[in-house]
Amino acid sequence: MSALFTPLVMRSLDIRNRVWMAPMCQYSAPVGGERTGAPGDWHFTHLSTRAVGGAGLIMTEGTAVTAAGRITPADLGLWNDTQQAAFQRIAQGLRALGSVPAIQLTHAGRKASTARPWDGGTPLPPEYGGWRPMGPSPLPYGPGHLVPDELTVPEIRRIVGDFARAARRALDAGFQVVEVHGAHGYLIHQFLSPYTNRRGDQYGGSFSNRIRFALEVVDAVRSVWPDDLPVFFRASATDWLERPTAEGPGSGWEVEDTVRLSVELMDHGVDLLDISSGGVAPGIRKPVAPGYQVPFATAVRHKAGAPVSAVGLITDPHQAEHIVATGQADAVMLGRELLRDPYWPHRAARELDADHTWPKPYEMAHP
């Protein structure tokens, strides 16, 4: 029996396999008007195609909990009724196709207000359609980026509430998993890492202070999320900042910090850690290779005792099978590989001789 195609039970959910779609920003939401931030036909087709393709869980791209939390003006958001209604169509469609609909909630913090990647990805000041970014400390992401406004304690608490309200909307739209985005240099990660968090109050300095915002967000989300449905947390296991940089001290967030955080997160109701890396500083070179981030997930799984998903250049069915079968991770998240091949799960099942079936209308092509 294939480990990759063994169902995974999480709370009340029975996820049909361990091949999951990673969140990938599409930067394709409407800009301006009442449908700003709402998913459209592109998102519906993009996500439902991967459900037809056999992925057990489909994670939406990072969805901002407030307008100021978007990376670009074309990001998805979930702070109003129009957006919620558009997401309902997607969640219902994914469930009808046999996949678990999951949504990733995020706030970009100091990395907010930029142009789309194919438009240069440059910072957008307010006079060019952008807005003022915010962060734990007034430190810009990189050269040319706006200096973010340092968040006050009341503003931090308001953002915690924004996450809870977005989670409630996600539940009402029909999603069965919510993921808190605490990775890739976005706001929660900015509070976690000493590289970006230079605060002197209860949200900065010590490890327990720097994780406070993350735990408050998780508590707020869990307070509105049913006990029988899972909450995930995406973490960057390391900042890849082993040496001092020109911008500041080299000390950043590391694997052992992620292990410690994972223990705390599980105590606060998180069911799975979605492990990635990097993103808090520009210009970092990673030792990219097939499965290069899997050891981070394995460390969290073994040292913290947490269920984990692994991501990062997982492209081959036998590679993915080995990761799950040997206990390195409980599931694999596929990103770019599913962009190239939406039907990768079906192909993988065939290569692994797994007990898995194609949709009935497609069986004639795959005897």
Residues identified as active-site: 186
The secondary structure element, H or E, covering residue 300 is helix 294-304
Q: d(Cα 308, Cα 345) in Å, to the nearest integer?
A: 19
What Rg value do the Cα atoms of the chain yield, rounded? 20
Tokens representing 189 are 């990660």
Q: How far is CA 182 from CA 168, 185, 367, in A?
A: 19, 8, 43
Question: Which amino acid is residue 328, in one-letter code?
Answer: Q
Q: d(Cα 347, Cα 110) in Å, to the nearest integer?
A: 40
Tokens representing 54 are 């056999």
Which residues, 6 or more positions from 343, have their beta carbon under 8 angstroms from its beta carbon? 52, 53, 54
For CA atoms 90, 95, 99, 102, give the dihedral sign: positive
116-123 own/partner pairs: CB under 8 Å, 24+ apart = 116/27, 116/72, 116/74, 117/27, 118/27
